[in-house]
């Protein structure tokens, strides 16, 4: 095995085998493994979420600095850095959890390829620790899913595949999870427009695009790879929403919630009339 396989794929394979031995179903094992991964990553993810909330709270002070140093970009950047340092905020803290999640996701692609190609038992046993090696096949059926195949439906009359329920739910959950992070970015966008330089606008725009990157990745993954990855991403996004809500509440979802409530009120008024 090479470095990548030893460091990432082998531990994930054996983690799945442990939980599969407990529950007897690969789908439930994926859910349990996802929960376990999310728990062990708490020391990384919680500081990141708190840092983003702190940056949102500092937006009034950032606005004052932008006004004070609007003609001196170098002083503005230094003043912002000093402010973040004095408040114990690392602006780059949000990047690490996303990088870790991507690494795990790419490793899981390799893991599910073991189940989906050739002889699954032989493939998996190459990475399994001796006590966890398989002698029988795995139950890869989870509800209507075959976890080794994409969650798509193919209708002869329609040239393109149709996304399945899990794929749609996973993409929607990731979108909602991303939207919860939007307030800090929206504030940065508003403040960026007040500055002469366009650097801030570019950074704010990049952050906003990154927030929507994972929902698009979810759809791409669902069409191309095993649905086990979609199940992992769905559970991961659900845990992320719960953790984010515990730290900063509904965040950017407040505007959507209020809009939905307003629409329902109007609908009720129309019905009552």
Residue 209 has pLDDT above 60, yes or no: yes
Residue 44: domain span: 3-272
Please name the helix (run of DSSP H) or strand (run of DSSP E) that holds residue 141, with its range, or none.
strand 141-142
State pLDDT tens for residues 11-26.
Answer: 999 999 999 999 999 9
230 close to 221: Cβ distance less than 8 angstroms: yes
pLDDT digits (tens, 9 = 90+) for 165-179: 999 999 999 888 877
pLDDT, position 76: 83
Residue 141: strand pairing partners? 146
190 vs 58, which has greater pLDDT? 58
Percent of the chain with pLDDT over 90: 27
Using the predicted structure, report yes or no on whether residue 120 has a pLDDT greater than 70: yes
Number of domains in the chain: 1
C-alpha triplet 152, 153, 158: angle, nearest 5°:
120
**CA gap 178, 104 in Å, rounded:** 19
pLDDT for 157: 81
Q: Give the Å distances, CA to CA, from 65 to 26, 73, 78, 95, 204.
A: 53, 11, 10, 24, 17
What's the rounded mean pLDDT across residues 241-250? 82
């Amino acid at each position: 095995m090479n470095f990548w396989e030893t460091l990432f794929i082998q531990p994930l394979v054996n983690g799945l085998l442990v939980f599969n031995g407990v529950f007897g179903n690969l789908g439930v094992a994926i859910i349990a493994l996802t929960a376990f991964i999310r728990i062990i990553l708490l020391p990384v993810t919680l500081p990141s979420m708190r840092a983003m909330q702190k940056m949102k709270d500092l937006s009034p002070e950032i606005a004052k600095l932008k006004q004070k140093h609007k003609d001196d970009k170098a002083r503005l950047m230094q003043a912002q850095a000093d402010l973040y340092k004095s408040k114990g905020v690392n602006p780059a803290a949000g990047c690490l959890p996303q990088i870790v999640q991507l690494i795990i996701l790419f490793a899981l692609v390799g893991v599910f390829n073991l189940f989906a190609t050739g002889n699954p038992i032989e493939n998996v046993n190459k990475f399994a620790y001796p006590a966890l090696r398989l002698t029988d096949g795995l139950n890869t059926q989870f509800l209507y899913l075959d976890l080794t195949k994409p969650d798509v439906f193919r209708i002869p009359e329609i040239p393109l595949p149709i996304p399945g329920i899990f794929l749609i739910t996973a993409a929607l959950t990731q979108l909602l999870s991303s939207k919860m992070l939007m307030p800090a970015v929206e504030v940065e966008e508003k403040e960026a427009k007040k500055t002469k330089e366009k650097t801030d606008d570019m950074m704010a725009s990049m952050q906003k695009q990154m927030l929507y990157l994972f929902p698009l990745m979810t759809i791409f993954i669902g069409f191309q790879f095993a649905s086990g990855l979609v199940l992992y991403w769905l559970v991961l996004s659900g845990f992320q929403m719960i953790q984010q809500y515990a730290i900063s509440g509904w965040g950017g979802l407040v505007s959507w919630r209020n809009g939905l409530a307003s629409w329902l009120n109007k609908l009720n008024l129309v019905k009552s009339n």
